[in-house]
Amino acid sequence: MKVRCSAVVLCLSATALAAQKAPTPGPIVQRVGDTGFIQLESRSFNQLDARHQALAYWLTQASIAIDPIIYDQLSRFGLREKRLLEEIVARPSGISPAAFGKIRDFALLFWANRGNHNETTAQKFLPGFTFDELHAAGLAAQAHGAFKTSYADLPPLATREALEHELTDLRGPLFDPSVEPMTTAKTPPQGKDILQASSNTFHQGVSLQDLKSFEERYPLNSRVVKAADGSIREEVYRAGTPDGRVSTGLYATYLKKANEYLDKARAVADPAQATVIADLIRFYQTGDPKDWLQFGADWVRDDAPVDFANGFIEVYRDARGAKGSSQSFVTVTDKPVTDAMVKLAQNAAYFEQKAP
């Protein structure tokens, strides 16, 4: 059992890190509506030796590598919406300041919720800008170099025609409250079950009735899809093995990139943690539930100063509580706080006896 208190290491990109000054202690740095954005300072990181700092860096890069997955899991339009917003926010020239401010605020909420559905309520939230404002901003951004290269698995939007088509396609998903109203629907409307009413992509074209006669081999890390001929199949989240014995699957691009960084982390990790990381690499290659269980067993036994989570973990975003959402973070043990908590735990009986 792990007993520790940790400081979380959050990293958006190496470029962003290089451009930032040392953080000033203070919680909330920005607010959009009722959502506050906080900065976390990991003072414990500065106490690590160079090897463990490198370990934290490579583990953080592995976290960044899988970031696109959750947007695709929560909406079939999620990655395309993310690309549109980010390309516009990165190029404000030629955009009305008033419109740009509204688009930027919406982008912040989009990042915070991994899409345009509230993380707490699962309900869709709408932009404060109009489609015409978004349209004009998109064209202005394209004129200043946006959409010229591929993004995640998406092809470039190199021409005005391609961008116009994309904007039209995303109009409903962004602005119409009836399009994908709930990412996870626990109380579906009449005529639909909880899977059919949910906008996430864990199940596509599948009903609860369909699953009664279907046995899943990869219950945590697959998308269940119903084909036009009525057959049902699993699309497994996996990178495939280097020897080709296990084929690539869904999200292979991101999982392969994550494995590259995990391999670099493994090279600088302590022996026990190197085994843990190797387990995760293997799981991302095969998608085999047995490899995930092995990773979990070795992770629980490890007690490294730099810890991490990376995988398809929380199942609450799936209406039936089976499919895991992509999740990752890196933590550094806060030794003084951990030591204090251990002492409290060791003296728990004393406090219980003295309690009123």
* DSSP track, 118-139: -TTT-BB---SS-HHHHHHHHH
Which residues have a Cβ under 8 Å from the Cβ of 34 and sit 6 or more positions away?
A: none
Q: Are 285 and 246 in contact (CB under 8 A)?
A: yes
Q: Note down the domain range covering 228.
A: 203-236
Domain presence at residue 183:
no
pLDDT at site 330: 96
Question: Of the residues 157, 175, 193, which one is the last residue of a structural domain?
Answer: 175
| Same-domain check for residues 217 and 304 | no
| Same-domain check for residues 86 and 106 | yes
Kindly report the number of other CB atoms within 10 A of residue 267's CB atom: 13
| Same-domain check for residues 212 and 250 | no
Question: Of the residues 220, 236, 252, which one is the last residue of a structural domain?
Answer: 236
- Each residue's pLDDT, cut to its tens digit, for the chain (356 residues) gives 554 555 444 444 333 334 445 555 567 889 998 899 988 888 889 999 999 999 999 999 999 999 999 999 999 999 999 999 999 999 999 999 999 999 999 999 999 999 999 999 999 999 999 999 999 999 999 999 999 999 999 999 999 999 999 999 999 999 999 999 999 999 999 999 999 999 999 999 999 999 999 999 999 999 999 999 999 999 999 999 999 999 999 999 999 999 999 999 999 999 999 999 999 999 999 999 999 999 999 999 998 999 999 999 999 999 999 999 999 999 998 888 888 888 888 998 988 888 88
pLDDT at site 25: 55
Kindly report the number of other CB atoms within 10 A of residue 18's CB atom: 7
Burial of 100 (0-12, 13-18, 19+ CB in 10 A): buried
Q: Please state the φ and ψ torsions of residue 5, each to the nearest 5 degrees.
A: -115, 135
| Same-domain check for residues 135 and 221 | no
Domain total in the chain: 3
| Same-domain check for residues 258 and 312 | yes
| Same-domain check for residues 36 and 134 | no
Domain presence at residue 322:
yes
| Same-domain check for residues 112 and 148 | yes
* DSSP-derived pairing of the beta strands 28-32 and 35-38: antiparallel
